Structure 1
Amino acid sequence: MPNKGDHNILIIEDNPGDLALVEEFLFEQIESPVLSHVSNFVDAKNVLTNAATAFDIILLDLSLPDKTGTPLIEEIIKVSANAAVIVLTGYSDLSFGLRSLSLGVSDYILKDELTSLSLYKSIVYSTERKRIALALETSEKRARRFAKQLNSVVEEERLRIAREIHDEFGQQLSGLKMSMASLKKNNGVSSDLQPVIEAIVTDVDNSIQTLRLIANELRPALLDKLGLFAAIEWLVSEFERKTGIQSKIYVEIDQPSIDRTTGISIFRICQEALTNIAKHAAASLVSIRLESGVEMIKVYISDNGKGIDTRTLQNSSSMGLLNMRERASLIGAELNINSVPGKGTNIELKIKTNGNEDIDSR
């Protein structure tokens, strides 16, 4: 007995006999299928691009007059929108079948083994898998938006606190230093208190320097004033000063066009990488190379330390690596970490530029 569910199905098939058989099978199992048919890739692309109603299922013959195999699958997937793609083929190549699934195909069925029931089951399962995949994708997008907003709030709060430290506490300490210097200069204290005054002034100077360091750790002023690359150069310089690890930076700049959020994320990834090196690598040499072109920014971070074992690399709970991966994901960047125990670690970050506000042109 035919199922009462409606399905809007596009059949892409150039063999009239196979088309007739597929249509017969569909009407056996589905009460009111809405069927459309094309016999070549060009027509299929036009229909999928301009269709007023979205298709639930695409039944795709693997060999069409104008396109076949992997290129055909890739092109159909691009224009399939939310439809599940089921490949129907006469070629019993298991390895290709598995490869086609990795390209985004929902199912791969041999025509010689096709029955009305197997076709219907494939349609039902493929439709449900696609629905779940789309729901998961929507959920992941929502989570990424939330994480991006959260990062934005955190960065704004860092900026606010850094300014508070610099403007309020910094000015107060500077005022105290001036008062103590004036007191000393005008002989407002006895000679035996002069060393005490000098010690207080020294302590105030140290406190001012500490506050500046804290403010810069929260949000380097260079990042907002001079841009991403200047901030990373400062970061590397500070890393070498604090750790004693020889650090080199190579910058090949071609005015990348990146928005503010992307620039901050790149900086934080570099900061996290250097923090991990200082804590765990036991390295004596670190280098950062920055490359930028019209469409891509690349950041390479390498050290000659003890490396990271495979288990740690694959451990999603490793906070430093997790933070870097999450920040890269939020800006749509590709992050690759390669390490060999005893031979150091190489981190590669690739960011596509999008023509938004240029953080290095302000």
Structure 2
Amino acid sequence: MEKKQFNILVIEDNEGDFLLVEEFLYEKFEEVNLNHAKNSRQAIDVLSAKSVPFDVILLDLSLPDRTGISLIYQVISVCADVPVIVLTGYDDFDFGIKSLSLGVSDYLLKDELTSLTLYKSIVYSSERKKITSALEASEKRARNYAKQLNDALEDERLRIAREIHDDLGQQFSGLKMSLSALKRLNGSKSEMEEIIDSMIGDVNTSIHSLRQIANELRPVILDKLGLFAAIEWLVSGFEKKNAIECHIQITDLMITLDKVQEINVFRICQEAFTNISKHSGASEVEVLIEKRYGELVLRIADNGKGIDETNVQKSLSMGLINMQERANFIGATLNIDSTPGTGSNIILTIPLNDNKNINS
């Protein structure tokens, strides 16, 4: 006996056939809510109203006002998300295959119908539809994520191109002008030195810009000094750039991660600080890194405006989605604890292999 209540629409003009189906349903289902339509017009009216969330539709193919393929098309067109099980008195194998290709969940012959076959068909069709819907939703999320990822990559390429064009382009244009002036110059030594000093300043600025772009692409400090030094460098730069007071505490410097974990943890931190600077309105940020019960715990907390917890999933930006994907990739857990007006806590938990990740 199925405990879940099933909402079922039976589209059947023959009263005797309907009563038999009704008897079969009440025999096998503990709770069933039956709706009966005697022709396609009544059925379409009921389905279009959407007043009942039907779990399955039982469809007779020989109705007074519509029959066969045309009837299947009509019903499925208004309820594509509801499984349709055809009940017919005609044993036509080819037509049955055609019906299934149109989106019908099952094709049952009335002469062979029993309470058990009807029960199994309804339960299987309902569960199959749930699985299909979940897969479709997952595929849609994957497509959206791929689009967002592509958009983010294009935005990053555009940002780097602008930095190179606006900063380095101007600096090298200035160098070119200075070299041209130096070539034409017949003046004093002091005038030449002044131009050369200006050129040296432009070169230094260009070197700084190049290093900054390179660090944003892949921080050198991460490879040379490790994750914790890189996070300290990130926090220091964030504090200077945004005038937001930052505090960082690392309780166990002996913890090490592999290279893949390090770069993903660092990128999660980068994204967290980007979100704080763009959206939080915070004046203070705290960073805590500690080992707890065989796990590395990274906590980034701010005193900004926070996010309504009921809307955290709805509010997931590309940045937050990317953070979650990176956490999943390295087997970590990412939690966002936030309420409006009290700031946000981002907690990243990474399982540690003590033999591998803890230096002796």
**Larger Rg: 1 or 2?**
2
Higher RCO (CA-CA < 8 Å; seq separation 6+): 1
**Structure-2-length-normalised TM-score:** 0.49
